[in-house]
Structure 1
Amino acid sequence: MARESFAIGTVRIRPGTIRNLELPITRLVTGADVSLPVRVVHGREDGPTIWVSAAIHGDEVVGVEVIRQVLATLDPKTFRGTLVAVPIVNVLGFMTGDRYLPDRRDLNRSFPGSARGSLAARIAHLFMVEVVAKCEVGLDLHTGSDRRSNLPQIRADLDDPLTRELAEAFAAPVMLHAKIRDGSLRHAARERGAKVLLYEAGEALRLDNYAIDAGVAGVRRVLAALGMTDPVDEPAPGPSVESRTSGWVRARSTGIFHLEVGLGQRVNEGERLGALLDSFGKTLRIVRASWTGIVVGRTEQPLVNSGDALVHIAEVNQD
């Protein structure tokens, strides 16, 4: 028996086809309509229904390119299941390169939203009703914020067996057991029963190739693990390093920060991470690791104030 068509918005998509559509969001003061762009790959054969989304923060562009490259590899005639791709969730922020919406709300603190709430609440509600409610698994793609860069990493509930299995399949360099924040897409989707992986990599407003390549490979490995595609023909990736605790080393003085460690570097407690200098080159303070672990994030801003986050270290089990 042939698969049923897939309903989303006001359209139905036949099995074995790809369809682009727009879900209406709002109208600008100019009278122009703003819509959420969606592409659905509705496979000819049965399988899971999952979503992959990016740019919930409008300045995070890496995930948009990841989704573009993944979609270019999919054939709906051999695809098993259904993929709902939403490359730009925060359309209004993306238009201006802004992390937030025009009302300064953080969309990723506005879920599950409300049909009659703020603009952020309405976008969140639309996404929950038209995307999350139809899916069993979600991949939410992010980058670092506030002039920070992130090592490719998966953040997820590693105590849930299926979520952990998918995180291991993604095979990012690090998988972090991350607390769920109220109002986030991950929290709201989990309350609806979906399994969610949050991918972090790269820097805002930059197409970092290392972040894109790891994201594309990871998403394709998850699709294969779910049986939606054939396994990717590539060398087997190394296992992800697991971490259950992480934190930022912060500046204890104001100055010009000379960073001396890279993403993915392992550091020991007390190890030198860099130095804070004044404008004449006088060393104001040596910055050292507060604990042993792996560098999963770092500031890209050399001008820092006392208290600013400098280096994000994830604690890992020592062999």
Structure 2
Amino acid sequence: MARKSGSEAHVWGGRAVAPGERLDLTLTASTSYSGTPIELPVQVWRGAKPGPAVFVTGAVHGDEINGTGTVRHIIQEEPFELVAGTLVLVPVVNISAFEQLSRYSPDRRDLNRSFPGSVDGSLSSRIAHVIFENVIARCDYGIDLHTAAVRRTNYPNVRADMEQEATARLATLFGAELLLNSKGPQGSLRRAALQVGCATITLEAGEVWKVEPAVVEYALRGIRNVLIGLKMVRGEVVKPSFRMVAEDTAWIRANEGGFLRFHVHPGDMVDEGQPLATNTSLAGRDLGVVVAPRDAIVLAMTTLPAVSPGDPVAHLAYSSEAAMRKMERALDKLPEDSLLTRLHDDLATNVMVSELDDTFG
């Protein structure tokens, strides 16, 4: 379904949305094993004035519900007034996986590798096709909300193809401190959206199976920033205290099996050679230290201290030395009650951290 113009641009799910109106609708994606419809709830807001169409999606992976909590907050609390354009809110994209509290669809496929989908493909492909044709391909911009995978937590970061002008503008407007420049995996929602002219970014923040208050606050601030920047909502864009664009990331993995003593939190800055975690036996004997290979920021961490050889321990993001030092100075100046400080503290509760020379028992 191509992007519509004229009066057809304001028809969603077969129903017209008048200026200033909000519409609840459902999109039927397929049928379940029992033969009942698989329906995706959608809410469409239309401003009084013309403007772009923007979608916000949650739970493309069914267990990543920070995005669901964010979209529901917008629907229930109405934290801003839409004065122009169209806002399309999808609290749960992968409803079948969501009902099983699972990352993957019932056909065991990753929906975020299935876009743009097809009308006669697998279940995941059919769900992707319906949301792509009826929402994504009809919008000018999109914000896709994700968290880390199971047993991990993500420090907030926005992923975007910064080589594309519209996408780079969207990512900058969002106001995230940490940006990862990438096109996105083949079959991902944001990559497929960009291919049809819908500039889309992804927010990665927090854990699965939770609605974390500080993560929701961070996502809401970014969404509001985007809508203000696009002149769809009145107000001033909240600018970040710093901005770092990372061109490269890497998972640092355990060399031995054992039980980890963490030495860093998500969001910490680390120097080359700095210990990230010590691997120990269950009796507390040191088996080896996992260290940072370069100066970096801790983008994500495992929250499960028990590891096998090769298991991921920390996901590090790399940037230039100048950018790292600028970030370090900005972090040192942040007030204790700032959103970023509160986010860092909240995410730190997911892992138990000790100094390298501490011992247990």
Deviation of 1:26 (Å)? 2.2
Q: Using the alignment, how far apart are the partners of 1:20 and 1:156 within structure 2?
A: 30
Report if aligned partners of 2:71, 2:89 keep a CA contact under 8 Å in 1.
yes
Q: Residue 197 of structure 1 aligns with which residue?
A: 201
1:279 aligns with 2:282: yes
* Conserved 8 A contact 1:168-1:239: no
Percent of aligned pairs with the same amino acid: 37
Residue equivalent to 1:135: 139
Counterpart of 1:138, as a letter, is: G
**In 2, Cα distance between equivalents of 1:179 and 1:45:** 33
For 1:225-304, list aligned pairs within 5 A: 225-232=229-236, 236-304=239-307
In the TM superposition, residue 274 of structure 1 has moved relative to its aligned partner by 1.3
TM-score, normalisation: structure 1: 0.94
What is the alpha-carbon root mean square deviation over aligned residues? 1.6
After superposition, residues 1-319 of structure 1 pair within 5 angstroms as 4=7, 6-71=10-75, 72-73=77-78, 78-232=82-236, 236-319=239-322
Please report how far the alpha carbon of residue 170 of structure 1 lies from its aligned counterpart in structure 2 after TM superposition. Answer: 1.1
User: Which residue identity does 1:262 align to in structure 2?
Assistant: H
Letter in 1 for 2:182: A
- Compute the displacement of 1:61 (Å): 0.4
Q: CA separation in 2, counterparts of 1:244 and 1:169?
A: 19
Aligned length: 315
Code of the residue aligned with 2:92 in structure 1: it is I
Instruction: Look up the equivalent residue of 1:256 and give its one-letter code.
Output: F
Render the CA deviation track for 1:247-300: whole Å, top value 9, x for unaligned: 111111100011111111110111011100001000000110011111110000
Residue 69 of structure 1 and its aligned partner are, at CA, apart by 2.2
Indicate the SS of the match to 1:96. coil
Q: Which amino acid aligns with 2:114?
A: S
Secondary structure, aligned partner of 2:321 = coil
Q: 2:311 & 2:295 partners in 1: Cα distance?
A: 20
Larger fraction in strand: 1
Where 1:253 maps in the other structure, the secondary structure is: coil
Going by fraction, where is helix more abundant, 1 or 2? Answer: 2
